[in-house]
Each structure stands twice: as structure tokens, then as C-alpha cells.
Amino acid sequence: MPVANLENISIYYEEQGAGKPLLLLHGLGSDGRSWEYQIEPFAEQFRVIVVDVRGHGRSAKPPGPYSVAQFTGDIFALLDHLEVDQFHLVGLSMGGMIGFQMAVDQPQRLKSLTIVNSGPELVPRGLKEKWQILQRRLILNLLSMEKIGEFIGGRLFPEPHQAEYKEKFVQQMGENDPRAYKAATNALIGWSVSSELDCIQCPVLIISGDMDYTPVAVKEAYMRQLPTSQLHVIENSRHATPVDQPEAFNTAVLNFLHTVSEKRV
């Protein structure tokens, strides 16, 4: 099994393809399986590395608390184990937060950064955002993992033709260790690298579903802090854009990566 026994944690990962390394980081409560529509197309041109973050999937689930810095340290340790120096990174939601942290901590190692339905902080700024955080905490403490999966899955995939996507998501959520899921959730709340975005040196692609939880305007606001960034909005998409619009998503990412590669030749 592709498990790296690192100094402080055992991390599950999978690799496919050859070429420049391309790291894929999943969202909260999910795992590497959430990239099923990306791995093969991306592996035709890149060495794709898919990771299960600490507390998720087939990686170890030690007691909390967790932190974004800890997630980041785990993944850098895995990349060192795989002898990967520089790499492209694509991160969805929580994976995007980890991506931001990685780009701030070791900017020289990222060849590009693709942020999907995410941002550089999860700090409630107003009444609406504070209510959303409170709602998260209530759901976390009152519902089983299966019920949480049903609740979130209904928001991610509300359309009748998305029933298969919702079923897979609910199944994955139900497999989570409740304590690890809670520790990961708490790691995100209050985290921020908004004041450090000027550290990021690589080209940045920000992808947003037009119906994502976080409005496109919020992405436009932090994009202005990133002079090397561009925004791509994918229509008829919610938070799980790589799943609900895989063709449009894959095209946007691959076009960006080709442009980055051409500029750096």
C-alpha cells in the first residue's frame, strides 16, 4: 500500500503518470477519491500525487487538536519523502487553504497554485459569517457523520441528476472518524494567511463555481492582493466543482498549467 510512514504521521497517497509533479488536495471530510474525474486526464501530462490529509481517508487519524500548519507540515514531509522539490498544486476548499499555507511557508517550491472554491482565511467578519460558523459547530456536535453527510451532500448536489454524486459523498462522509473530522473542522475556523499573501511568488489560478457558498466577489477581493493571479468562474457549479463540472474544470486547470509551463520554459 502507498503509505508513507513519516516522522510524526502515516500518510496515504497515490501516484499516477509522469512529468512535472502535480499535487491534488481534497476538501474537509473527503479524501483522494474526490479527484476521480481528474486523476487520469491530468496523469496524461503530469506526475499526479493525490494525498489523504491527516485525519482523512486512509491516512492516520491521531487525536487532535489539528492545525492547518500541521497539515502543511505533513504534506511537505511526504513530498520530501517522495523526493519532490518543486510542484504544481491544486486544492479544493480545505485543500485550497492548505495550498495557501504551503505557498506562504515555502513559496520557492510551488510552480503554480490553483485554488478551488476556497480562500486565504476562515475568519467570520460579519453576522452572516458568524452565524454560518455557529451553524457548523452545532451540526458538528449534534449530528452523526451520516447525517452531516446528508446535510452537506444536499447542498452540494441538489439536482436530481446529481443523485449518484450525492450518494458517493454521503458514503465517504459516513466513513469519517467523528473525532478526526471535528479536529479538522476546528483547525480551519479562525485560520488566516491573508496578511501574508505577498509572500506568494508563483502564478495563481482561482476557480469559483458561480453558486459556491462563498460569493465570487469575495474571491475577486483577495485576488487583488495577488498580482500573479487570475479568476475563472465555472457556470452551473456549486462547491464541488471538480465533480459537478469536471470537463469545464479540467479544461481550465490544464490550460492554466500549459500557460505556466510555456512562460517558464
Looking up residue 70, the CATH number of its domain turns out to be 3.40.50.1820
pLDDT at 135: 82
Catalogue the long-range contacts made by 122-127 (C-beta closer than 8 Å, 24 or more residues apart): 122/97, 122/188, 122/189, 122/190, 122/191, 122/192, 123/190, 123/191, 123/192, 123/194
Q: How many domains does the chain have?
A: 1
Q: Is residue 204 assigned to a domain?
A: yes
Q: Is residue 147 assigned to a domain?
A: no
What global pTM score does this model have?
0.96
Q: Which pLDDT tens digit goes with each residue over 208-261? A: 999 999 999 999 999 999 999 999 999 999 999 999 999 999 999 999 999 998
Q: Is residue 130 assigned to a domain?
A: no
Residue 122 zone, left/alpha/beta (φ > 0; ψ -120 to 50; rest): beta
Checking if the pLDDT of 264 tops 70, the result is: no
What would the grid cell of residue 235 be? 457556470
pLDDT category of residue 71 using cuts at 50, 70 and 90? very high
Q: Is residue 55 assigned to a domain?
A: yes
The DSSP string of 54-98 is: TTSTTS----S---HHHHHHHHHHHHHHTT--SEEEEEETHHHHH
The residue length of the chain stands at: 265
What would the grid cell of residue 137 be? 459547530
Q: What percentage of the chain carries pLDDT values higher than 90?
A: 88
Q: Is residue 161 assigned to a domain?
A: no
- Give the chain's end-to-end CA distance (angstroms, integer): 36
Cβ neighbours for 112, distance < 8 A, ≥ 6 positions apart: 88, 89, 202, 203, 204, 205, 256, 257, 260
Residue 199 to residue 93: CA distance in whole angstroms: 21
Q: Is residue 165 assigned to a domain?
A: no
**84: containing domain:** 3-121+193-263
